[in-house]
Structure 1
């Protein structure tokens, strides 16, 4: 478990950073393009999941 714990903490920090980055991009896109930015974010997330 010695190496697993730091890896899990790092992966959590990366996930938090990615969530912040996604929300920042969504806010910028929503200000410029409205609801289209939300649809584009969802399409990118679905594409990344598959």
Structure 2
């Protein structure tokens, strides 16, 4: 009986481009900064912001 090794999974093989995502975040930062109001508790971060 042959041993079957499962294919390793990673973001890239799943169609996720981390570098493209990081580039998009950098492009969005100045736009998001313009929406900042007095109630915002922190800036753009790993997930979003606190209000």
The TM-score normalised by the length of structure 1 is: 0.39
User: RCO higher in 1 or 2 (8 Å CA, sep ≥ 6)?
Assistant: 1
Structure (1 or 2) with the larger CA radius of gyration = 2
The TM-score normalised by the length of structure 2 is: 0.39
